Structure 1
Amino acid sequence: MSGTDPRPVRRRAFVLGTAAAAAAAGSAALAGPLAQAVAAASFGYSDDGSNYVIDTGANLVFKVSKTNGDLTSLVYRGTEYQGYDGKNSHIESGLGTSTVTIKQSGSTILVSVAYGTLRHYYAARSGENNVYLWTNKADSSVTATRYIVRLKKSLFPNSDPDSWDSTTDSVIEAADVFRKPDGTTRAKHYSRLRVIDYNYVGYSTGSVGLYVVRSNHEKASGGPFYRSLLRHHNEGGAGLYEILYYGENQTEPERYGLQGPYVIAFTDGGAPSSSLFHDNLTTSWADSLGISGYVTAGGRGRVAGVGINGRDTSYAYTVGLANSAAQYWGSARSSDGYFSMTGVLPGTYTLTVHKGELGVCTSSVTVSAGATTTLNTITVPSSNDPSNASAIWRIGNWDGTPSGFKNADLMTYAHPSDTRAASWTGNVVIGSGSETSSFPAYLWKDVNSGLLVYFRLTAAQAAAAHTLRIGVTTAYANGRPQITVNDTWTSSIPSPPTQPSTRSLTVGSYRGNNYTFSYSIPASAWLTDTSQYNVLKINVVSGSGTTAYLSAGTSIDAIDLLT
């Protein structure tokens, strides 16, 4: 369920807020800076000896450890939500001994946590049921950049793809992927969503909602299509995440600097106010708080593009900005390709136009503080979109995803062994009308290597050499395709492209580095009898990986034989 329905919800299992839901979410239960006035006579903080105790003057009281900066308590309307298995909410798995200070500036209370070179902040605003968080990671001395909100058990339902019960479900992979008695699979990785798809993640009972509203991810890595765990739930409790760098399926180096705010928001059961969403949130009230690395709105710029020509209008286009320090993105308007990105840190960026998730055009853009960089219409060269190449046949289409292939949709929220998955084996006949839907989204050395594609050629086509292209979106354990044609011609083994080194295909993500393998097939490989089917065999080769779905594998974008 999307979490955008403004009607009352009854024991809603979970809510994942999408970018498209912003308008509807704004009409849900009030939770943000634009919420109705709340009596805040008790706004302030105290010291209980071990923690700073912050009362927002609304319905929320939270505590921060004076020793290590952990969030040790979240009490909303008298109910404690924080904590499971004796664990607190914190950066990574906890920072250890830190210097923790607190100050009040008018209607804002700021808790500052210093741990080595890392700085972390909690802020409360008078009359709001929110906790605002910033994290400034200066280097790799802390392994990852992850904040986890740990929630007590039995407060919210436990029945979703990222939920499991370890008392009844069996572990099938790496201690974090589970199979239920009915054969369906669950894991903390199975969120379904890319970063661009959601504004918040959380849970609702219908009368209480608890969410993490994500930041703009300007210091994260992986771009708009990155997939990562967003939350988990089991019989012992639940967790909500803001992950900026996790080390899993990362396609870019880690970025350092201040990220935030991201927000822990309580509501009366509905979605968080859209005023908290990263595209809408204004924090001028934080400008003078002394947050390390903080850049005001006036110190940022904007990029606006008039439009994009050369688009395939059957696909959504996204424009991204990236350099070693920051990343941003915006959707291109379907009518003309207009796009805009605000709040951009000054600097020179690589601008990439994505068709679906496939980069089809790049350029350089410089952004200045307090100014708008206006770009003339961008034209995507026809040769940059591989779909424009003339093909004898094509399976799928070039969009940087395995969309349309067999089991592709299921793989963002289930393990490949899930009982809902169609058989990963089976061959493909060109001209059958089901070429794409019968071709598996993923190929593994130990599961379905040796897949066969049958196709006929005309006499003229069989008399010429042709190029076969196989586009992939990621690979596990250096899995890559080697092809054989009619058992008479075999390609060399291609070199493996650079891909993430962690699990991907089994943990809900096909996102890696899009890459195209090209094979020059000589005319001598084809059958001269035009009534017979040529047979293309696709094998997955690699000397690494283990067995089954953890053997070397790859995710398919498109396959075609060029004229």
Structure 2
Amino acid sequence: MTKRRTLIKAVGVGTAGALVAADPAAAASVTWTDDGSNYVVTTGANLVFKVSKTNGDLVSFVYRGVEYQGYGKNSHVESGLGASTVTISGSTATVMIKVVYGTLVHYYVARAGENNIYMWTYKDANSTTMQRYIVRLKPGALSFSGGDAWDSATATTIESGDVFRATDGTTRSKHYSGKRVMDFDYVGATTASGTVGIWMVRSNHEKASGGPFYRSLLRSGSTASPDLYEIVWYNMAQTEEQRYGLHGPYVLAFTDGGAPASSLYARNIDTSWADGLGIQNHVSASGRGRVAGVGLNGRDTAYTYTVGFANSAAQYWAVATASTGYFSCPGMLPGSYTLTVYKDELPVYTGSVTVTAGGTTTVNTITISSDPSATAAIWRIGDWTGSPKGFKNADLMTYAHPSDNRAASWTGNFIVGTTAVSGFPCYQWVGVNNGLIVYFKLTAAQAAAAHTLRIGLSASFAGGRHQITVNSWTSSIPAAPSSSGTRSLTVGAYRSYTAFLTYTVPASAFLTDTSQWNILKLNVVSGSSGDGYLSPGLAFDCIDLI
């Protein structure tokens, strides 16, 4: 027998007993029923969704009478939790479904009159391996475009079952979003007519890993299996261990084609209405603090500066103002944090700060102390930014595979003073373009002294680093940089563990004839193996001689 809870006037019943959304103008409450297999929630607007009582999967979401869920799979945490304890509670204003799977607890919350599904996930170290929520969308219902969209019937798999080549030679993958986590508030798609939009509004990522510049899959535009994601930790180009605790809220939002309401964005959202819901480890605004920085001295005004905060429990960031370097980061959990100032994506200052509940911690003016660009160089290729921006193919690599037909040749020797930075490849691999050469001249005084060659890497794959030769002199092999352990350079992520390699080149290595070109050869070496674009490799940040 079907159970019915809440006000009948807010629930409509369609043909064959199907539950449909009430007119939002007439709806006074959010309602729920039990159909025997699922909890069925009507938001009092235009959204009806169902959650399985068996495993907590989101098995249906009907917006304005149209089903948008699924292609044979449900929407869920991870790839589905399995048998779980699923309960429901609420009032005419808010309904909450709680899913308990071992030590993992997932929440779906609906508010009266809203076309939104608010979600939180509590996770500890004994829970599932990865942490993500996957929204499975009905094929053909929404229109996708870009690097993460492809026709699954015609695309050819070229790597690991999740990177594809289209018939026009372009490459596509769910990895190719082209965005850092700090660059977006939501991701999604609309119908071809533009009259319906379905969006995943990301959380503040305080329990995520990787910082503000982390890139991960956001959606899949496959014609057969379109998805939206909220990724908190994903073992690909990952630079930190998982953080545990309560993650969220992140919001599955339905609109009439426009963007989701800005009030849902992580930087704006007010969750005071959730304070009394009993969500595990939920911390209200009064239990959080703020850090405010007076300014940053020693900035290069050509770049954006971001201030990051991190400890084992949480991470945050704030963008400094261009005029003074002032920054403010509200909503932080109490605790001591490492404070890192980034010039673009390059760490140039590290300190510490302590946050207290209900308080504001003021940081006096910070003077940038560790920018390698501040050291005068004899020559420099690129600039120290923590990324390969400006190098050949760098922009394309955030939304395409290196084999994409839009990529310029991965060869490209460099003549100092002649070749543009855009002519030097952003990536180098053992099996693709090893042995890149830089030609440079020195004055007599410069050639008579030893110098330091510095190579900055924004990522190293499979232990890739350089052994260099300068004319007939060969360097030793430096220790392997930290590696993300899985693919990075082929999945749109040019940044994992950064590395700063230095080589002391003796004066005897240089040519004394100032009219001749010195030849620097860059050879990627590694104790690991691999083929082609999956051979040991690296992403350049900057190269200079000082």
Query: Structure 1 counterpart of 2:319, which letter?
Result: S
Aligned to 1:255: 243
1:48 and 2:32 aligned: no
Query: Structure 2 counterpart of 1:484, which letter?
Result: T
Q: Distance in 2 between matches of 1:542 and 1:409?
A: 26
Aligned to 2:285: 297
Query: Structure 2 counterpart of 1:233, which letter?
Result: G
TM-score by length of 2: 0.94
Query: Structure 2 counterpart of 1:527, which letter?
Result: L
Aligned to 2:5: none
1:92 and 2:78 aligned: yes
Cα pair 1:153 1:235 within 8 Å, conserved: yes
Cα distance, 1:157 vs structure 2: 2.1
1:138 and 2:124 aligned: yes
Which of the numbers 419, 422, 442 marks the counterpart of 1:437?
422
Aligned to 1:347: 335
CA offset digits 1:327-371 (Å, max 9, x no partner): 000000000000001110000000100000011111110000001
Query: Structure 2 counterpart of 1:80, which letter?
Result: E
Aligned to 2:207: 219
Matches within 5 A, 1:314-393: 314-381=302-369, 384-393=370-379
SS in 2 for 1:520: strand
Aligned to 1:243: 231
Aligned to 1:552: 536
Distance change in 2, residues 1:427/1:64 (3 Å): same
Query: Structure 1 counterpart of 2:544, which letter?
Result: D
Cα distance, 1:412 vs structure 2: 0.2
Cα pair 2:24 2:46 within 8 Å, conserved: no
Q: Distance in 2 between matches of 1:130 and 1:317?
A: 34
Aligned to 2:158: 172
1:476 and 2:461 aligned: yes
CA offset digits 1:66-125 (Å, max 9, x no partner): 0000000000000000111x1000000000000000001340000001000001000000
Cα distance, 1:465 vs structure 2: 0.5
Cα distance, 1:41 vs structure 2: 4.2
Query: Structure 2 counterpart of 1:467, which letter?
Result: T
Q: Distance in 1 between matches of 2:538 and 2:400?
A: 17
Cα distance, 1:141 vs structure 2: 2.8
Structure 1 range deviating more: 105-114 or 68-77: 105-114
Cα distance, 1:249 vs structure 2: 1.3
Cα distance, 1:241 vs structure 2: 0.3
SS in 2 for 1:285: helix
1:118 and 2:131 aligned: no
* Equivalenced residues, count: 522
Which of the numbers 237, 252, 264 marks the counterpart of 1:264?
252
CA offset digits 1:233-263 (Å, max 9, x no partner): 2121310000001111110110000011000
Aligned to 1:526: 510
Which of the numbers 518, 525, 539 marks the counterpart of 2:523?
539
Which of the numbers 278, 285, 289 marks the counterpart of 2:273?
285
Cα pair 2:177 2:218 within 8 Å, conserved: yes
Cα pair 1:39 1:127 within 8 Å, conserved: no
Which of the numbers 465, 468, 489 marks the counterpart of 1:505?
489
Query: Structure 2 counterpart of 1:359, which letter?
Result: P
Cα distance, 1:37 vs structure 2: 7.2
TM-score by length of 1: 0.92
CA offset digits 1:490-510 (Å, max 9, x no partner): 001111121210100000001
Structure 1 range deviating more: 347-356 or 164-173: 164-173
Cα distance, 1:433 vs structure 2: 4.7
Q: Distance in 1 between matches of 2:238 and 2:285?
A: 29
Q: Distance in 2 between matches of 1:270 and 1:550?
A: 40
Cα pair 2:305 2:320 within 8 Å, conserved: yes
Is there any run of 5+ residues in structure 1 with no aligned partner, and where?
1-35
Query: Structure 1 counterpart of 2:493, which letter?
Result: S
Which of the numbers 30, 33, 57 marks the counterpart of 2:44?
57
Q: Distance in 2 between matches of 1:88 and 1:235?
A: 17
Cα distance, 1:276 vs structure 2: 0.4
CA offset digits 1:36-82 (Å, max 9, x no partner): 97432463000000000000010000000000000000000000001
Matches within 5 A, 1:21-36: none
Distance change in 2, residues 1:140/1:532 (3 Å): farther
Cα distance, 1:375 vs structure 2: 1.1
Query: Structure 1 counterpart of 2:277, which letter?
Result: L
Matches within 5 A, 1:394-409: 394-409=380-395
Query: Structure 2 counterpart of 1:39, which letter?
Result: A
Which of the numbers 419, 440, 444 marks the counterpart of 1:455?
440
Is there any run of 5+ residues in structure 2 with no aligned partner, and where?
1-22
Q: Distance in 2 between matches of 1:114 and 1:80?
A: 26
Aligned to 1:194: 180
Aligned to 2:12: none
Aligned to 1:446: 431
Query: Structure 1 counterpart of 2:516, which letter?
Result: Q
SS in 1 for 2:149: coil
Cα distance, 1:426 vs structure 2: 2.1
Aligned to 1:516: 500
Distance change in 2, residues 1:140/1:427 (3 Å): farther
Aligned to 2:57: 70
Which of the numbers 475, 484, 489 marks the counterpart of 1:491?
475
Q: Distance in 2 between matches of 1:60 and 1:422?
A: 47
Q: Distance in 1 between matches of 2:33 and 2:195?
A: 29
Q: Distance in 2 between matches of 1:158 and 1:234?
A: 8
Distance change in 2, residues 1:437/1:515 (3 Å): same
1:162 and 2:132 aligned: no
Query: Structure 1 counterpart of 2:42, which letter?
Result: D
CA offset digits 1:440-485 (Å, max 9, x no partner): 0000001111011001111111111000000001111111111001
Aligned to 1:18: none
Q: Distance in 2 between matches of 1:244 and 1:511?
A: 17
SS in 2 for 1:411: helix
Q: Which has the higher contact order (CA 8 A, sep 6+)?
A: 1
Taking only aligned residues, the RMSD between alpha carbons, in angstroms, comes to 1.1
Cα distance, 1:543 vs structure 2: 2.6
Q: Distance in 2 between matches of 1:201 and 1:480?
A: 35
Q: Distance in 1 between matches of 2:294 and 2:78?
A: 41
Aligned to 1:82: 69
SS in 1 for 2:378: strand
Q: Distance in 2 between matches of 1:426 and 1:295?
A: 53
